[in-house]
Amino acid sequence: MRYPRAAGILLHPTSLPGPYGMGGIGEAAFQFIDFLVESGQTLWQILPLGPTGYGDSPYQCFSALAGNPYLINLDWLAAEGDLDPADLAEAPAFPDEWVDYGPVISFKTALLHRAARRFQEHASPQRRADFEQFCAEQADWLEDFALFMALKESHGGAVWNTWEWELASRQPEALASGREQLAEALHAHRYFQYCFDRQWARVKRYANERGLKIIGDIPIFVAFDSVDVWAHPEYFMLDEDRLPTVVAGVPPDYFSPTGQLWGNPIYNWKALAKEGYGWWIERVKQTLRAVDIIRFDHFRGFEAYWEVPAGEPTAINGKWKKGPGLKFFTALKAALGELPLIAEDLGFITPEVAALRRALDLPGMKILQFAFSTDASNAYLPHNYEPNYAVYTGTHDNDTTMGWYWKVGKEERQMLQQYLGPVGEPMNWALIRLAYQSVADLAIVPLQDVLGLGSEARMNTPAKPSGNWAWRFRMEALQPEHKTRLRTLALTYGRKEPEVKKAMPSYM
């Protein structure tokens, strides 16, 4: 699918300003949307919106279909009567420029459960009816998710395969008993998803009404400690004890000499194909409730994926296994129609992967930070692009442009300077300009690069076990000159339609 020439900003909602320790849904999101629109941008790219677990990574969630309750706007809950304003006065003094996840999660979890109880006791008939309708419409995934989270809480957060075998293996009597004993917790998790769904819909509607589309992510793999694996073990390569026999990763690459051992369970693609990829179809359908365009993370894994035996200390001793290929995307299209997708085709890309992307007519990705390490044949250099691509200065997995530039080696720096020629602007803006002027249909820039920030603002370092996903910014960092520069670039390089000037009235 081809997209009109456009530009946008990459920023996850957790990085937004906000009064309770992390960004999320609310006024700051509306203000950021206004900034994008006034800057001539028509795209806002975010990371996955799922409920995060250990490590706080949006790529390791407890569900592939649920929303992250920590993004819920507590002030809006108070406005609806589910919280008392005095409840919010209990908020600790959280830092403004990074997320201290432990204290934030403890504070928000307590208030969200309090709100769920008040909703159950005092909600109006109209809100109750709306809630019940949401639960009925989403029951196919919501009931399993609510029970999974309630059971997880009752087991002190333990991984599901350490629960009593009757629960881990989903024996009907044990599940029925769990639903009865944990009825209040089940209600709470249904309520959290109801609130997230309704609140995020307000953000998406606000964006769409102003001509802005939201790009969201679908990670190819899911976390082992998730409702997806617990509720559907037949869709994953597990042994009789429901432990992974093989796990996901990538071989040694740009980011790590030992590869990346993600540890996610591998799909049983034969079982998924036998059932018409129904689980995946529902996953894509649910994601499109929240976003307008989907970036398929690790697209190359649908052609072939790196499979590592469970228990290996690194990803080195893996092997390539064939993925579902074209038949998978054909099934998605048959069920859901033409899909607005972007293929994250980074890493070790073979001719077969490139052929799959072209057969689907999907835009791939180009990263400018990868462009200057070799010579003029480098595929990431703009003169080698085709239009059906999305170009990035860097992604959430890269250092910021300024952080990268300050660390780059002598030969790479020389190549960069030769390619750019005389530069009369800071390097972050030079690369933003390079992205915008390229033939790639889409140009996406992390907000950190617009702000000219260094490595202290990096969002994620692959293979680093902790300390990621924490960066935030202050709203006052967005200055009028940022809007002017972005809008000028968007107009200059055809990524924003010029405004039609009204003709002056004639009095002759």
| Residues classed as catalytic | 297, 344, 397
Distance, CA of 349 to CA of 368 (rounded, Å): 17
**Is 397 exposed, middle or buried (CB count within 10 Å of its CB: 0-12, 13-18, 19+)?**
middle
Q: DSSP characters for 165-215?
A: HHHHTT-HHHHHHHHHHTHHHHHHHHHHHHHHHHHHHHHHHHHHHTT-EEE
Give residue 85's identity as a one-letter amino acid code.
P
Distance, CA of 58 to CA of 12 (rounded, Å): 10
Helices (H) and strands (E) in the chain, counts: 19, 12
> Are 41 and 7 contacting, i.e. CB atoms less than 8 angstroms apart?
yes
Distance, CA of 210 to CA of 42 (rounded, Å): 9
* Closest residue by Cα to residue 214 from 41, 389, 46, 35: 46
- What ranges in 346-426 are assigned the alpha helix state H? 351-360, 401-407, 410-420
CB atoms within 10 A of CB 112: 21
Distance, CA of 257 to CA of 251 (rounded, Å): 8
